Structure formats: structure tokens, C-alpha cells
Amino acid sequence: MSKRAYNFNAGPAALPLEVLERAQAEFVNYGNTGMSIMEMSHRGPVYEAVHNEAQERLLSLLGSPSGYKVLFIQGGASTQFAMIPMNFLGQGQTANYVMSGSWADKAIKEAKLIGETHEAASSKESKYMSLPDLKDMKLSDHAAYLHLTSNETIEGTQFKEFPDTGSVPLICDMSSDILSRPFDLNQFAMVYAGAQKNLGPSGVAVVIVREDMITDSKHLPTMLRYQTYLANNSLYNTPPSFGIYMINEVLKWIEEKGGLQGVQAMNRKKAGLIYDAIDHSDGFYRGCVNAEARSDMNITFRLANEELEKQFVKESEQAGFVGLKGHRSVGGLRASVYNAVPYESAQALVEFMQQFKSNHS
């Protein structure tokens, strides 16, 4: 393939072409050092500048309320599922979870290995095709925290508003929609995300945490304590330096696009275009989740039967589209339109969908 694919992968996912080209230009000789960023010491000033810049840029994009720190941790968002209860769920406390989809399910499973849990709200009865109404949420006594998943990547749902949890710390898995829209960081005690959708390549999870959440949990293994990352500026051991460099470049790109408001406008346009195509298809395409819960990042839809869905995937691949098959656990189709997916890809998809419909109805 000589041109870039129409990449709708769910993660790892499309990165901005400008960022890839910038990285390519300095791949073998970063800043006249005679080596790539991957080949230099993580204790040297050149790498450390990139590391610190990525942290500062991220806080600045989020409006930098004071008291928050950015940590870079390996093991993906899945390791955070375990680290959160290990670090924050104390004796006599209960970890509260909003059960919104497959990823919330995975998160609570890890917490159950560590201590007491409580489902504060759930839409499991709808097979997660809707979101639980957070107004009906019931927190347990002695709640250590409330864990929320802002965007369910597999089902294609996204919370539009976040709950006020008062003195109970709100912790949010934003793996699949971080930096896709503005939000008020002050509402959260901690936000985290695997990088491989909106932030950069896989291999690093970004944790933005209110400093006063972190206590010295010496009973835990060193690498599983947030304190280790906080005390050592995420440089206790060798960090995933190339990934962090790429995150810094993606953050620059977001700034160039007008920050979070800028990317949100782009994202709404792209998602709007595709949802319109679904809604105006006379039922040929059917959105999987109810309209209020729809995600601007992961658009899930179905056709009349699985045979036709298979045909859609096959023909889309022949036409240069990648990643439109739904997650294996739910089937159907899914277009992931993260920040870096160009508007032209969304337009091309809509044209393809219209053509496919007229060929097959």
C-alpha cells in the first residue's frame, strides 16, 4: 500500500501523520546528539528534558490545576486496574465501581482480588448497551474511591458528564477518550489511560493524580507503589523513553490543533458524520447503543445479519479500510475515530457505507 490506510483501529490506533513524520526526521539523530532518543541514557539531560516537557504539557492542556502530578507507568491501563485497589483500598473500606461495560468489568475483577467492592451503579442488564444513570448511584459506606470508565471502547458508550462524589475520590479510566474533549480535572482524584489510543504508542500508561492521594505504601512491591513514581519523577527504573517522547510530540500536535476544544470540535464533526450515515440508512445500519450514550470515539453498529457484516469487513478491507470489525466479544462493526483519525477517513467511510448499502439492499 503506497498511501496511508483509512485506519479505524481501536488501539493501537492511528497517530497523527505530522507526528510520525517529525519523529522520522529525528529518528536517527535527535537534536544533534548523534543518536536516537531510544539510544540515550534516561538519566541524561536531553531525555530528561523531554520527560519533563511531556508532563508539563499534559498538565497545561488540562488547565494545570495545582497539586496534580503526571506519572508514567508500564503495564498498560490493565496494571492500573490492580494498582488502584492495592494503593487506595484500605482495611475496612470498600472500592466502588460504576459498571458501564467490558472495561469496568475488568477493573472491578482486579479490585475483588484485593478487597471489598461495591457496584454503585450498573447497566449490565442492558448488556451495557446503555449507560447507568449516575443520579441513581448509591455509594457504599466507607467508600475508598469511586471508579468510573469514561468511554467504553468495546460497547461504544461515553459519559457526557461526571458525577460529583463529594469527599469520595473519583478515579477515572480515560484510556479511550483522554484528551478528546475538555474536562475539569479538579473533579478527579486520579485519571489514567493506556497511551495507545489518543496519546502515543503502547507501552506506557499515563497517570494524572492528586498528590495528596499518595501515601507511602511500603507493604507493596516497589514498582506497584505510586509513591515510587512520585518520589522519583517516574525515573526509579528505566522508563519507556521512546513512548514518552512520542507522547510529547502528540501533545504538541494537540496544542497546534487548538487544544482540547480544538480536538473536540474535530471529533464531533467526524463522529457526527458517521452517526448521521447510520441514522439515515433506513435501518440498513443500526447503532448498537442508545443515542444519549453514544461515544464520539468508538462508533459501534450492526447490519441485518452476521453474514452481511462479514461481507462489509471484507469489502472495506479491499477498499483500504482497516479495523472496522467489532470486538470479538460483542461482534458487529466498530469504527474508532480517535483524535488522529483524519476527517477525510470519516468521509471516505461514509461514502463506502453508502455504496455498500446500495450494492446490498
Residue with cell 488522529: 340
Residue with cell 548523534: 34
Q: How far is the CB of 157 from ligand PMP (least distance, A)?
A: 11
Which lies closer to ligand PMP via its Cβ, residue 194 or residue 287? 194
Q: Is 80 annotated as a binding residue?
A: no
Which lies closer to ligand PMP via its Cβ, residue 40 or residue 98? 98
Question: How many helices and strands (H and E) does the chain possess?
Answer: 9, 14
Q: Is 140 annotated as a binding residue?
A: no
Q: Is 184 annotated as a binding residue?
A: no
Q: Is 253 annotated as a binding residue?
A: no
The 3-state DSSP class for residue 168 equals coil
Q: How far apart are CA 184 and CA 182, in angstroms?
A: 7
Q: How far is the CB of 11 from ligand PMP (least distance, A)?
A: 5
Q: Is 238 annotated as a binding residue?
A: yes
Q: How far is the CB of 355 from ligand PMP (least distance, A)?
A: 30
Are 301 and 278 spatial neighbours (Cβ–Cβ below 8 Å)? yes
Report helix angle 241-256 to 259-279, nearest 10. Answer: 80
Whether residue 12 has a cis bond before it, omega within 30° of 0: yes
Q: How far is the CB of 15 from ligand PMP (least distance, A)?
A: 16
Q: Which residues are catalytic?
A: 103, 173, 197
Collect all residues with Cβ–Cβ distance below 8 Å to 35 and sequence separation of at least 6.
28, 29
Which lies closer to ligand PMP via its Cβ, residue 173 or residue 309? 173
The footprint of ligand PMP (CB under 6 A) covers 11, 76-78, 103, 149, 153, 173, 175-176, 194
**Parallel, antiparallel or unpaired: strands 143-149 and 94-99:** parallel
Which lies closer to ligand PMP via its Cβ, residue 173 or residue 249? 173
* Grid coordinates of 250: 502528540
Q: How far apart are CA 244 and CA 250, in angstroms?
A: 10
Q: Is 94 annotated as a binding residue?
A: no
Q: How far apart are CA 107 and CA 48, in angstroms?
A: 32
* Grid coordinates of 92: 475496612
Which lies closer to ligand PMP via its Cβ, residue 77 or residue 108? 77
Q: How far is the CB of 242 from ligand PMP (least distance, A)?
A: 16
Q: Annotated binding site for L-glutamate, which residues?
A: 43
Q: Annotated binding site, which residues?
A: 43, 77-78, 103, 153, 173, 196, 237-238
